[in-house]
Amino acid sequence: MLRRDDLLRPVARDGLEVWQLTTEAIPSSHVYMEAQIFAPDSKRFLLHRSAHAHGSDKDDPQHCYLVCDLENGGELTPVTDETGATAPSVSPDGQFVYYFVNRTAFRDGVLILKRVRLDGSERCEVARVCGPLAGYPGGPTHIYPLSTISADGSRLATAAFLGDGVMENAPYGLLVFDLRAGGVEVVLSGSSWCNLHPQYCRSSRGAAVRDILVQENHGCAFDSQGRVTTLVSGLGADIHVIRDDGSDFRTMPWGRDGNEFCQGHQCWRGRSRAPGRVR
């Protein structure tokens, strides 16, 4: 790590420190701010190489996720080595990284969910989705670059386009993976779910452990290939909570009311059951 006091105004230097983690020419980036990428003790976290904050090119062989060890001078160690690695989540106990390998296509691709220890050992395949999902025209594509893991470590969710590349107004969907049994279920789908931002509640008590916060974008437009051409945020977005089996769908009392609106950075307030919004 390189200390960068030059990035601070003099008045701030007594209370803040800025450290540069990477030095190579290939750009690296933090993982988008809502992602669960820190170990519980905050001593290790994930970032990614050859990427930007909103994701990476799934076909880029230089892209990988790195573990940054803050107790060891910010040492960076690759934890993925497959082209197509995306949407990581660190398990609540800080022992494992779950991530997807995106080799998807509209009808004959594959999406693989893997697990590996933070030290790179014990890599294994947890689940595999091949081709179209039952009841949907195509297999998952346009995999959302983030995933979210439940506080008890038993389920993981992400989002994807479920069209076949031909059908107009094909659905996007919320995919929930059972990390113990290896199965997957689409628990929410439709044309307004193109920017889901799924986030599990961080509470580990009672029914809250099954709750996922999601964003709905009313009035968005996209083509048959699942490429979004108009993303309506602000007054077109509202926020919901759904149980991860698809039941108990709820609407938050803000958004699309002319008074307050969401810009896509909603989040749970700590480990409570109260969602909030970041302006």
Closest listed residue to residue 94, CA positions, set 67, 113, 71, 114: 67
Give the CATH fold of the 2-276 domain: Neuraminidase (2.120.10)
> Please, which pLDDT band fits residue 278 given cuts at 50, 70 and 90?
very low
- Alpha-carbon distance of 168 to 5, in angstroms, equals 53
Residues composing the chain: 279
| 134 against 174, higher pLDDT | 174
- Alpha-carbon distance of 55 to 232, in angstroms, equals 20
Q: pLDDT at position 110, please?
A: 96
The rounded mean pLDDT for the chain is: 91
3-state helix, strand, coil in the chain (%, to 5): 5, 40, 55
Question: Which residues fall within 8 angstroms of residue 85, CB to CB, at 6 or more apart?
Answer: 63, 64, 65, 99, 100, 101, 102
Dihedral of alpha carbons 126, 118, 206, 240, sign:
negative
Domain boundaries, the chain: 2-276
Residue 264 pLDDT exceeds 70: no
Using CA atoms, how far residue 56 sits from 52, 114, 237, 264, in Å, is 6, 18, 25, 19
Q: pLDDT at position 38, please?
A: 96
What's the whole-model pTM score?
0.92
Q: Which two tokens stand for residue 18?
A: 């800025």
- Alpha-carbon distance of 40 to 176, in angstroms, equals 23
- Alpha-carbon distance of 227 to 141, in angstroms, equals 10
Q: pLDDT at position 274, please?
A: 66
Q: pLDDT at position 236, please?
A: 81
Give, rounded to a whole angstrom, the gap between the first and last alpha carbons of the chain. Answer: 32
Residue 129 pLDDT exceeds 80: yes
Residue 45 pLDDT exceeds 70: yes
User: At 52, phi and psi to the nearest 5?
Assistant: -135, 175
The 3 state secondary structure assigned to 225-275 is: CCCEEECCCECCEEEEEEECCCCCCEECCCCCCCCCCECCCCEECCCCCCE
- Residue type, position 114, single letter: K
Give the other-Cβ count within 10 Å of 266's Cβ.
22
